Amino acid sequence: MNPDHISLHDKQFEPYLPAQQLAASIQQLATQLNHDYAGKTPLLVAVLNGSFMFASDLMKALAVPCEISFIRVASYQGTSSTGTVQEVLGLTEDIRGRHVIIVEDIVDTGHTMRRLLDTLGAREPASLEVATLFLKPECLQHELPIRYVGLSIPNDFIVGYGLDFDGLGRNYPDVYKAVGS
């Protein structure tokens, strides 16, 4: 049973997107990726920590042979982006000539994704695409070539399904939004 509200630190959160809706969006993304990457072996680069659930479920839904690696970047403090991206744990694989898909939980300002696209693009992959579960179009501060979007959402602060509020809330299978956001 899923709670009808959750409390994390000093904030209250209410149900927003059920696990079934997330699963349907992930399946749609996988169908698109299976079509677009037929005959290829893409490397999924999952952005930690938030994308771990999404990356796992997306990879399980893919029918094309693929690999996964992880990169950790940080740009959030509390409920808002700091605007500064720090690469915490880098990608060790050689991606030259590879088909790379950055797997991200949420793209809002686009600062993190812009930095990742620039950094990974400089390593000469055969192709470089982004698959994000959530996109906040009204928050974008960069033009980004995001080809694979699970759900476009308003500028609500959300937790659950890997997304957190200062470390808490990642464990919920559903997504919750801050009350009053």
Is 105 noted as a catalytic residue in this protein? no
For the chain, where are the alpha helices, taking DSSP H only? 19-36, 52-61, 111-121
Longest dimension (CA), the chain: 49
Task: State the distance between the two ends of the chain, measured CA to CA, in whole angstroms.
Answer: 24
Distance CA 33, CA 37 (A): 6
d(CA 49, CA 3): 23
The one catalytic residue in 4, 94, 105, 108 is: 108
User: Which residue is associated with the tokens 């970047």?
Assistant: 73
The closest alpha carbon to 62, from 131, 161, 135, belongs to 131
Q: Which residues are catalytic?
A: 108
